């Protein structure tokens, strides 16, 4: 592939692939394409390190996508899940193995971009897309400072508000016009707020804490970070939060004083959006276009986990490009089939779980009180031991088809792990 002439006219440089956005999705794609020897350009409007509203919790299954040396990025390790409901005593389930790694996105994303750089890809930071068009089977992108690139493959990794999609809506593709209409509807994304807090005393637990009573139709989290810091946040999945910052502040108020020291805000708060996959129909509309990570609505609607899916979708897009170098159409169609049949199907099970658990959090909490092993629902998904499909089957069979009084007797949580 890299045998194509480098320059097609004075201004436009021909490359094997263009990547817009270098968060976990784009940086992973850039690194993998670079390692395969392709000539790639990746650009991001930010300079790194940059902030990103995010809990920074990386499930342990996601670490398989990280480049060598990731364990040297400052982080903490969570081995258990702490479930909170109202004023009831919390329930803890410890897996005894790492289920999540807690990073600061500034460190993680800068590391990913740095690793991609070392594979030889061209990287433009602090650069905005000025113009993007798809004509005669090729993408032509112009960015600051007055540079143009042309390629048959374009990877959109520019997050939930994807400017690539906005530019391409003007192409002839009816499918993309449809997306533009969808995006005007309020339910295509969930607002989520997060902030970092600091306590003078060391954190009592490094577990993932999930509070089911703090957010109607969703949950609040607390992830223990280094040096006594915690990332706390809120998201509503059954209906978008109208005032996420207010919900976040109320959640912060529930944090107890410890030895006379109250948790104080250390960074943030920030509010950003989580895409709703079920509203997203953008894949496979333009030959050679790959929507990965948040730009392709790759966030699970139960936990809101997106970093894993960002890197997973990047890796899949790259393998499709490598497999179908001569046919951008086949490459993006095959990627699109994988998204709908595999990822979005899995998300549909996650959504079923969300609609039961977040609608009846009290019932779920009682179940967990009785059988703390049920908390392995979080843990075994995060370690990759289980998927949402198998869980929603077990939970669905036992929880939905039975009257609630019978649930505790008939459910066999020992079978879940
Ligand atoms: C409050 C909150 C908490 C979350 N917590 C977690 C969590 O704990 N764990 C988890 O797994 N997921 C979490 N998520 C989801 C996760 O943050 C995203 O799924 C993940 O960041 C997606 O990665 P990405 O690379 O697709 O996009 P992003 O990380 O959003 O990166 C997109 C990149 O594109 C760049 N860009 C945007 N527009 C342009 C443009 N026009 N030109 C050039 N560059 C552009 C941006 O600067 C950015 O660097 C959370 C989300 C929110 C909102």
Q: What is the pLDDT of residue 140?
A: 94
> How confident is the model over 34-54, as a mean pLDDT?
96
**C-alpha 284 chain-centroid distance:** 20
> How confident is the model over 120-134, as a mean pLDDT?
92
Q: What is the pLDDT of residue 114?
A: 96
Instruction: Check whether 331 has a pLDDT greater than 80.
Output: yes
Is residue 125 domain-shared with residue 215, that is, in the same domain? no
Is residue 207 domain-shared with residue 289, that is, in the same domain? no
Number of domains in the chain: 3
Domain contains 204: yes
Domain contains 7: no
Instruction: Check whether 298 has a pLDDT greater than 90.
Output: yes
Is residue 233 domain-shared with residue 297, that is, in the same domain? no
* Least confident window among 38-47, 210-219, 359-368: 359-368
The answer to whether 279 touches 185, Cβ cutoff 8 Å, is yes
* Least confident window among 95-99, 178-182, 189-193, 399-403: 399-403
**Separation of alpha carbons 126 and 142, rounded Å:** 14
Looking up residue 112, the CATH number of its domain turns out to be: 3.50.50.60
**C-alpha 154 chain-centroid distance:** 20
Q: What is the pLDDT of residue 268?
A: 78
Task: Identify the H or E element spanning 271.
Answer: strand 264-275
Query: Can you give the residue range of the structural domain that contains 374?
Result: 357-415
> How confident is the model over 225-252, as a mean pLDDT?
91
Candidate from 24, 45, 54 with most ligand 1 atoms within 8 A of CB, to mutate: 54
The answer to whether 406 touches 366, Cβ cutoff 8 Å, is no
Tell me which of 231, 250, 275 is where a domain ends. 275
Q: What is the pLDDT of residue 7?
A: 44
* Least confident window among 272-276, 356-360, 368-372: 368-372
Is 158 close to ligand 1, i.e. is its CB under 6 Å away?
A: yes
**Separation of alpha carbons 223 and 315, rounded Å:** 27
Is residue 196 domain-shared with residue 330, that is, in the same domain? no
Is residue 119 domain-shared with residue 266, that is, in the same domain? no
- Of the candidates 5, 118, 105, 59, the one whose C-alpha atom is nearest the C-alpha of residue 303 is 59
Candidate from 29, 50, 52 with most ligand 1 atoms within 8 A of CB, to mutate: 52
Split at pLDDT 50, 70, 90, the class of 261 is: low
Is residue 202 domain-shared with residue 300, that is, in the same domain? no
Domain contains 69: yes
Is residue 204 domain-shared with residue 259, that is, in the same domain? yes
Find the Cα–Cα–Cα–Cα dihedral 110, 113, 115, 121, rounded to 10°: -160
Q: What is the pLDDT of residue 346?
A: 95
Is residue 216 domain-shared with residue 259, that is, in the same domain? yes
> How confident is the model over 291-316, as a mean pLDDT?
96
Closest ligand 1 atom to the C-alpha of 223? 8
Over residues 79-124, the pLDDT tens digits come to 988 899 998 888 988 888 899 999 999 999 999 999 999 998 899 9
Domain contains 230: yes
A 10 A CB-CB count for 333 gives 16
CA of 77 to the centre of ligand 1 (A): 22
Domain contains 84: yes
Is residue 260 domain-shared with residue 284, that is, in the same domain? no
CA of 46 to the centre of ligand 1 (A): 12
Split at pLDDT 50, 70, 90, the class of 236 is: very high
Tell me which of 329, 351, 373 is where a domain ends. 351
Distances from the Cα of 157 to the Cα of 18, 141, 204, 215, angstroms: 10, 14, 37, 30
**Separation of alpha carbons 176 and 281, rounded Å:** 9
Is residue 399 domain-shared with residue 254, that is, in the same domain? no
- Average pLDDT in the chain: 86
Is residue 124 domain-shared with residue 20, that is, in the same domain? yes
Looking up residue 262, the CATH number of its domain turns out to be: 3.30.9.10
Tell me which of 275, 307, 336 is where a domain ends. 275
pTM of the model: 0.92
Instruction: Check whether 289 has a pLDDT greater than 90.
Output: yes
**Separation of alpha carbons 317 and 33, rounded Å:** 10
Nearest residue CA, atom 37 of ligand 1? 158
* Least confident window among 158-162, 186-190, 266-270: 186-190
Is residue 211 domain-shared with residue 100, that is, in the same domain? yes
A 10 A CB-CB count for 92 gives 14
* CB proximity list for 236: less than 8 A, separation 6 or greater: 190, 215, 216, 217, 218, 244, 247
């Amino acid at each position: 592939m890299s045998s194509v002439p480098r320059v097609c006219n004075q201004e436009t440089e021909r490359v094997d692939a263009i990547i817009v956005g270098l968060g976990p999705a784009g940086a992973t794609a850039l690194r993998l394409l670079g390692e395969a020897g392709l000539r790639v350009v990746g650009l991001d409007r930010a300079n790194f390190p940059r902030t990103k509203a995010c809990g920074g919790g990386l499930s342990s299954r996601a670490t398989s996508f990280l480049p060598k040396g990731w364990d040297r990025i400052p982080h903490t390790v969570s081995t258990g899940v702490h479930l909170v409901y109202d004023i009831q005593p919390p329930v803890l389930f410890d897996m005894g193995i790492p289920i999540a790694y807690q990073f600061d996105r500034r460190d993680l994303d800068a590391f990913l971009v740095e690793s991609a750089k070392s594979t030889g890809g061209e990287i433009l930071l602090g650069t905005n897309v000025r113009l993007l068009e798809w004509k005669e089977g090729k993408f032509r992108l112009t960015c600051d400072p007055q540079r143009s690139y042309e390629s048959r493959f374009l990877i959109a990794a520019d997050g939930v508000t994807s400017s690539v999609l906005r530019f391409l809506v003007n192409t002839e593709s009816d499918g993309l016009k449809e997306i533009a209409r969808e995006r005007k509807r309020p339910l295509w994304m969930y607002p989520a707020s997060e902030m970092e807090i600091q306590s003078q005393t060391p954190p009592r637990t490094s577990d993932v804490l999930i509070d089911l009573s703090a957010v109607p139709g969703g949950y609040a989290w607390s992830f223990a970070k280094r040096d006594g810091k915690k990332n706390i946040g809120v998201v509503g999945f059954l209906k978008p939060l109208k005032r996420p910052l207010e919900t976040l502040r109320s959640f912060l108020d529930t944090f107890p004083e410890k030895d006379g020291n109250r948790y104080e805000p250390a960074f943030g708060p920030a509010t950003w959006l989580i895409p709703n996959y079920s509203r997203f129909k953008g894949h496979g509309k333009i030959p050679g276009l790959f929507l990965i990570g948040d730009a392709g609505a790759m966030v699970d609607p139960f936990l809101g986990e997106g970093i894993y899916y960002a890197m997973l979708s990047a890796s899949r897009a790259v393998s499709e490009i490598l497999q179908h170098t001569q046919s951008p159409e086949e490459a993006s169609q095959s990627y699109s089939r994988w998204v709908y049949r595999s990822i979005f199907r899995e998300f549909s099970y996650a959504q079923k779980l969300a609609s039961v658990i977040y609608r009846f959090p009290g019932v779920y909490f009682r179940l967990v009180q009785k059988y703390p092993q049920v908390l392995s629902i979080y843990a075994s998904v995060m370690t990759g031991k289980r998927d949402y499909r198998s869980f929603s089957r077990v939970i669905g069979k036992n929880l939905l088809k039975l009257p609630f009084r019978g649930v505790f007797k008939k459910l066999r949580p020992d079978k879940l792990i």
